[in-house]
Amino acid sequence: MLERIRIVLIGTSHPGNVGGTARAMHNMGLEDLALVAPRCEPLTADTISRASGADHIVHGARTAETLEQAVADCTLVVGASARSRTLPWPMITPRELGDRLAEELAGPETRIALVFGREDSGLSNAELQRCHAHVHIPANPDFSSLNLATAVQVLAYECRLAWLAQQEAPAPDTEPAQPLASHEELEHYFAHLERTLIAIGFHDPAQPRQLMARLRRLTLRSRPERMELNILRGILSATEKQASGGTPVDRGEPDPPA
Amino acid sequence: MLERIRIVLIGTSHPGNVGGTARAMHNMGLEDLALVAPRCEPLTADTISRASGADHIVHGARTAETLEQAVADCTLVVGASARSRTLPWPMITPRELGDRLAEELAGPETRIALVFGREDSGLSNAELQRCHAHVHIPANPDFSSLNLATAVQVLAYECRLAWLAQQEAPAPDTEPAQPLASHEELEHYFAHLERTLIAIGFHDPAQPRQLMARLRRLTLRSRPERMELNILRGILSATEKQASGGTPVDRGEPDPPA
């Protein structure tokens, strides 16, 4: 379970925080680190010092230009956030995150990303809207900004507790789950949806009125399976053909392969 | 409750850890710090940097020569320990510590000390034996030594959760919920959806292939709000006009009535 949890750091400024994150991860049994557009050289003497023996995690870290690239294969993306901003978004506590991890990772081909923003400004609204849920570490309202590596420690600790609890519990007797859509598949769907809404005259990017954000929130809440997303994309393709004056098209294939 | 919890650091070597501890404490609402026989100057530029605005806690810290002096007024003393050593000792998890704090601090004139040892060697056996109980943060057995300030963070986090639970669950900090769509509204939506899918040639009621059932399941899972359903119906209307050869229509109104 722990090997399918990825820690993603966006725009980190201080190498010491990369090292501290690696130490916190290795302490809790997490090994998969991704660095998105770091604003510092990630591997310095400070990194090694704070990693205190866990620098193999920094050496093995993947780097990416964008959040999308770093989480393309993840089925659940959770962003660490002080609070939801312009648009309320599903918000969970670190403890609820632990419960949710165990459920999520019981399914096949699932992978989870926990995303942490910049030391000075956190995650952008665009980044937050790419997350299925936000997790907020309860803190002193007058002094609520945790050190980055320390915030990673708290969530990694909850991951480890969830894993330990699962080691003791019998496997739940549930239906075999269908594979969920990955982040990349969802983003392709949202891009297709936006094109289609423009084509039918429902959406004007010059006056977005949070339409796409609202549709993202609704869709992400339902945790679509891959097959369901294929149906939705079939509907979009059929709609696009109508909008371009085409004739009714072949229906998509909603049934799974035998 | 939180004001009666003291963090005690014994023989700390690195000023940065004193600063990081102050930050973690202030983040979680703890303010009472004691330093026992520090092996460094506690207040340096490193301290201030890592404290990140919480250095008043270091300025206000009491210093003591011995553990006994630092915890003399405490009714419960809990030592952070990798494991009990020569003599088995009552051992609790951080979560159990949280439960115990609430019980303990319900009594009058109680005060709790959480004691942390040296970066390199932890607490001595003599120190451990002055504690009522030991608390062990579950960690990777191959890499179990947490950074000092990070270990303080984990226990302070459990203190804060216990305190929050004790606040008798005041009104949760959630957004006022939007009205959910009613059953009737959902059924109107599904009927509209089916008409539209037929109009664009995606759905053939003579060969339903469970298409509508799959779309129902997906939609119901997301518990749509009324306003979200209005957006979806606006999209369907725009799609229908396209299918009937119409021109792009006015966009619907995704915002709720004022």
pLDDT tier at B183 (50, 70, 90 boundaries)? confident
Find where tokens 């709790």 sit: B112
State pLDDT tens for residues B84-124: 556 678 889 999 999 889 888 877 778 899 999 999 999 99
Tokens of A108: 């096949």
Give domain limits for chain A.
2-168, 183-243
The DSSP-derived string for chain A is: -GGGEEEEEES---HHHHHHHHHHHHHHT--EEEEES-SS-SSSHHHHHHHTT-HHHHHT-EEESSHHHHTTT-SEEEEE-SS--SS---EE-HHHHHHHHHHHHHSTT--EEEEE-BTTTB--HHHHTTSSEEE-----TTS----HHHHHHHHHHHHHHHHHHHHHSPPP--PPPPPBPPHHHHHHHHHHHHHHHHHTTS--TTS-TTHHHHHHHHHHHT--BHHHHHHHHHHHHHHHHHHTT-PPPPP---SPP-
Q: Which chain B residue shows the shortest CA-CA distance from A198?
A: B248
pLDDT tier at B218 (50, 70, 90 boundaries)? confident
The CATH number corresponding to B2-166 among 3.20.20.140, 3.30.413.10, 3.40.50.970, 3.40.1280.10 equals: 3.40.1280.10
Strands B5-10 and B91-92: unpaired
Cα(A10)–Cα(B46) distance, integer angstroms: 25
Average pLDDT, chain A: 90
pLDDT score at B178 = 76
Q: Which of B95, B143, B166, B241 to mutate to test the interface with A (most CBs of A within 10 A)?
A: B143
Average pLDDT, chain B: 88
pLDDT score at B102 = 84
Chain A hits for B202, CB-CB cut-off 8 Å, are: 234-235, 238, 249, 251-252
pLDDT tier at B258 (50, 70, 90 boundaries)? very low
Mapped onto helix, strand or coil, the DSSP state of residue B137 is coil
pLDDT tier at A221 (50, 70, 90 boundaries)? confident
Cα(A182)–Cα(A73) distance, integer angstroms: 5
Q: Which of B202, B209, B230, B247 to mutate to test the interface with A (most CBs of A within 10 A)?
A: B202
Contact (Cβ atoms closer than 8 angstroms) between residue B42 and residue B11: no
- Beta-carbon pairs below 8 A across chains A and B: 176
Amino acid at A12: T
Q: Which chain A residue shows the shortest CA-CA distance from B221?
A: A222
pLDDT tier at A249 (50, 70, 90 boundaries)? very low
CA atoms within 13 A on the CB side of B61: 27
ipTM of the complex: 0.78
For the segment A63-75, the average pLDDT, to the nearest whole number, is 96
| Residue B123 Cα, gap to closest chain A Cα (Å) | 19
pTM for this one? 0.80
pLDDT score at B252 = 46
Find where tokens 């003497």 sit: A45
pLDDT score at A87 = 72
pLDDT score at B230 = 94
pLDDT tier at A256 (50, 70, 90 boundaries)? very low
Helix axes B148-166, B94-106, angle to 10 degrees: 50
Mapped onto helix, strand or coil, the DSSP state of residue B59 is helix
State pLDDT tens for residues A145-189: 999 999 999 999 999 999 999 888 765 555 556 888 999 999 999
For the segment B10-24, the average pLDDT, to the nearest whole number, is 98
pLDDT tier at B257 (50, 70, 90 boundaries)? very low
Cα(A5)–Cα(B116) distance, integer angstroms: 30
Amino acid at B52: S
What percent of chain B is modeled with pLDDT above 70? Answer: 89
Q: Which of B235, B250, B253, B255 to mutate to test the interface with A (most CBs of A within 10 A)?
A: B235
The CATH number corresponding to A2-168 among 3.40.1280.10, 3.40.80.10, 3.40.50.720, 3.40.50.300 equals: 3.40.1280.10
Select the more confidently predicted residue: A49 or B212.
A49
For the segment A205-230, the average pLDDT, to the nearest whole number, is 90
Q: Which chain B residue shows the shortest CA-CA distance from A30?
A: B140
Q: Of the candidates B8, B21, B24, B33, which has an alpha carbon nearest to the alpha carbon of residue B127? A: B8
Tokens of B129: 């034996």
Amino acid at A111: R
Is it true that A2-168 and A183-243 share their CATH fold?
Answer: no
Distance, first Cα to last Cα, chain A: 29
Cα(A31)–Cα(A43) distance, integer angstroms: 16
pLDDT score at B125 = 86
Helix axes B226-243, A226-243, angle to 10 degrees: 40
Contact (Cβ atoms closer than 8 angstroms) between residue B134 and residue B88: no
- Segment of A106-115, B9-18, B173-182 carrying the highest mean pLDDT: B9-18
State pLDDT tens for residues A71-85: 999 999 999 987 656
Q: Which chain B residue shows the shortest CA-CA distance from A146?
A: B27
Neighbours of B233 (CB within 10 A): 17
3-class SS string, B64-79: ECCHHHHCCCCCEEEE
Contact (Cβ atoms closer than 8 angstroms) between residue A40 and residue A153: no
Strands A32-36 and A5-10: parallel
Amino acid at A139: A
B54–A27 C-beta distance less than 8 A: no
Q: Which fold has domain B183-243?
A: Helicase, Ruva Protein; domain 3 (1.10.8)
State the burial class of residue B86 (Cβ atoms within 10 Å of its Cβ: 0-12, 13-18, 19+): exposed
DSSP B244: T
Contact (Cβ atoms closer than 8 angstroms) between residue B95 and residue B39: no
DSSP B146: -
For the segment B134-150, the average pLDDT, to the nearest whole number, is 95
Cα(A151)–Cα(B154) distance, integer angstroms: 10
DSSP B255: S
Residue B68 has pLDDT above 80, yes or no: yes
State pLDDT tens for residues A2-53: 999 999 999 999 999 999 999 999 999 999 999 999 999 999 999 999 999 9
Q: Of the candidates A149, A161, A91, which has an alpha carbon nearest to the alpha carbon of residue B16? A: A149
Cα(A232)–Cα(A197) distance, integer angstroms: 13
Cα(B51)–Cα(B19) distance, integer angstroms: 4
pLDDT tier at A237 (50, 70, 90 boundaries)? very high
Nearest CB to B150; choose among A150, A202, A245: A150
State pLDDT tens for residues B156-170: 999 999 999 988 655
For the segment B232-244, the average pLDDT, to the nearest whole number, is 93
pLDDT score at B84 = 55
Mapped onto helix, strand or coil, the DSSP state of residue B35 is strand
